[in-house]
């Protein structure tokens, strides 16, 4: 199979449909999603709007790419690589009704929807099980975690209900070999990680925080096991 080596930024500049991105996302997409080029990935994108980003994924990843696009309002047409699902990402019922049979179905999930903190959290919690092992969860425009009383709810610096603060708990889950009290083991008076994260995110390898983007690598937890190579005498 021919692998498409065209730069995502060049693809963006030549899209037929409208697409809305921040400039620094392109390098990050290539860093975290580049390994799916030529691998016919199944993608779930929340917030497809005019269809430009789905067109971009199809052109970037190549033949066999398929996008399930969720949006609260229909603003583009379905194509041979795009299936539309109209619904509210903040609704638990929407996820249960439409995706409950799709366990480990997607290689990549991208949340570019409402950017509202409760919706981002609901989406992550409902969608994480839909990602294959070795897949990627991507949430963008997370600067709305810092919006205070503007456009979104539960934002504001250090608001524990913002998506960014919620995601920071995952760092403690990843470190639970060394901080068992954070995940509820043993006596501890301090704040603990929400139990739902402890159960959901045992299957997580890493989390990456960037300006406005949070990326989670799915996969069995990396083994914490020390090995020492002794110098030959
Ligand atoms: C930033 S735009 C998506 C841009 C598109 N991905 C692109 O790159 O061109 C956000 C989209 O999310 C949709 N949206 C807003 N609230 C939503 C919700 N609660 N559930 C699902 N989609 C929502 C909007 O209708 C809009 O089309």
**Residue pLDDT, tens place only, 101-129:** 999 999 999 999 999 999 999 999 999 99
What mean pLDDT value characterizes the chain?
93
Residue 195 has pLDDT above 90, yes or no: no
Q: Could you tell me the pLDDT band of residue 4, with boundaries at 50, 70 and 90?
A: low
Ligand 1 test: best mutation among 43, 114, 118, 140, most atoms within 8 Å of CB? 114
CATH for 8-156+204-218 (3.40.50.11260, 3.40.50.300, 3.40.50.150, 3.40.1350.10): 3.40.50.150
The answer to whether residues 60 and 4 touch, using CB atoms and an 8 Å cutoff, is yes
User: Is 171's C-beta closer than 6 angstroms to any atom of ligand 1?
Assistant: no
Ligand 1 test: best mutation among 21, 47, 115, 119, most atoms within 8 Å of CB? 47
User: Is 90's C-beta closer than 6 angstroms to any atom of ligand 1?
Assistant: yes
Report pTM. 0.94
The span from the CA of 138 to the CA of 110, in Å, is 5
**Which residues have C-beta within 8 Å of that of residue 213, sequence separation ≥ 6?**
25, 28, 138, 139, 140, 142
User: Is 51's C-beta closer than 6 angstroms to any atom of ligand 1?
Assistant: no
The span from the CA of 93 to the CA of 99, in Å, is 10
Q: Could you tell me the pLDDT band of residue 1, with boundaries at 50, 70 and 90?
A: low
**Residue pLDDT, tens place only, 140-187:** 999 999 999 899 999 999 999 999 999 999 998 888 888 788 777 877
């Amino acid at each position: 199979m021919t692998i498409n080596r065209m730069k995502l930024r060049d693809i963006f500049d030549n899209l037929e449909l409208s697409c809305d991105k921040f400039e620094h996302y392109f390098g990050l997409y290539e860093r975290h999603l580049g390994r799916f080029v030529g691998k016919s990935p199944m993608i779930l994108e929340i917030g497809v709007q005019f269809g430009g980003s789905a067109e971009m994924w199809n052109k970037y990843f190549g033949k066999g790419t398929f996008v399930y696009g969720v949006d609260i309002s229909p603003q583009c047409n379905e194509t041979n690589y795009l299936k539309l699902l109209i619904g509210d990402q903040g609704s638990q019922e929407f996820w249960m009704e439409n995706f409950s049979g799709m366990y480990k179905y997607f290689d990549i999930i991208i949340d570019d929807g409402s950017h509202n903190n409760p919706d981002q959290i609901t989406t992550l919690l409902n969608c994480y099980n839909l990602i294959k092992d070795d897949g990627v969860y991507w949430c963008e425009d997370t600067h709305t975690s810092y919006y205070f009383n503007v456009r979104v709810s539960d934002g504001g610096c250090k608001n524990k209900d913002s998506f960014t603060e919620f995601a920071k708990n995952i760092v403690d889950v990843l470190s639970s070999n060394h901080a068992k009290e954070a995940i509820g083991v043993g006596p501890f008076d301090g704040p603990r990680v929400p139990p739902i994260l402890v159960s959901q995110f045992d299957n997580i390898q890493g989390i990456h925080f960037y300006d406005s983007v949070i990326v989670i690598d799915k996969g069995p937890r990396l083994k914490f096991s020390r090995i020492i190579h002794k110098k030959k005498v």
